[in-house]
Amino acid sequence: MFTKLLEYNIFNGSKIEFMKYIDKFSKINIVSGNPEVLYNGLDSDLLLKSFTDSNTVIIPDGVGTLLASKIVGMPVKEKIAGIEVMEEIIKKCTEEGKSIYLLGAKQDVLDMCKGNLKKRYPLLKISGSHNGYFDLNNCDSIISDIKFSNPYAIFVAMGAPKQDIFISQNMNKLPCSIFMGVGGSFDVFAGKVRRAPKWMIGLGLEWLYRVIAEPSRIKRLVSIPKFLLKVMTFNKT
């Protein structure tokens, strides 16, 4: 059920299998394992410990991670996009009457995200929210608000590595059952950013679509060859 990549165990089943698998956890951190996120973990003791914890599950979110799994001879079954897992969890929460907390993005994006989610899922309980513009080392009021809201799931959209650091530092303090860093997903739900057409997603070209839409993202692609080189070097030793 897992592919070993460097220090990490990557879930290698389908998205449907993944959603069933996480049901057994009372507390879980879902990490969208693209090369940028995983490479960040190699340079941080805090993140590496978090990403390899028994309560963390890494999903293969990114073409670079899929390529890496082939390099080590244990290809994952499919790419599992973080935003799709987020929506599956939201559906589950809606059906079971459980609440979510949204943390991150600019205030206007956050407001639009909440509004659109409520339109799509009228019965969804959003117990609280806060934008992503705060000091990670001075956020006691936000921690208190999350504790008071007592959500089942918290989605943190502050980009890597900030969102992963927040979860690493506060997972044991908070009552949430599901923690998930979701990058730019609030922008998608807010309607500010569109996902790639289905045919591009199917061909593993969503990264290309996002670079065309946001040319500034191209510098982040450097993490893919760096990560693959690490995998190839590690695999030879």
pLDDT-derived band at 235, boundaries 50, 70, 90:
low
CATH 3.40.50.2300, domain 81-193, yes or no: yes
Which helix (H) or strand (E) is 83 found in, with range?
helix 82-96
Mean pLDDT of 187-204: 81
Determine if the peptide bond prior to 122 is cis (ω within 30°): no
pLDDT tens digits along 151-174 = 999 999 999 999 999 999 999 999
End-to-end distance of the chain based on CA atoms, in angstroms? Answer: 24
CATH 3.40.50.2300 range(s) for the chain read 81-193
Enter the tokens of residue 138: 């001075």
Enter the tokens of residue 203: 């061909």
pLDDT tens digits along 23-42 = 999 999 999 999 999 999 99
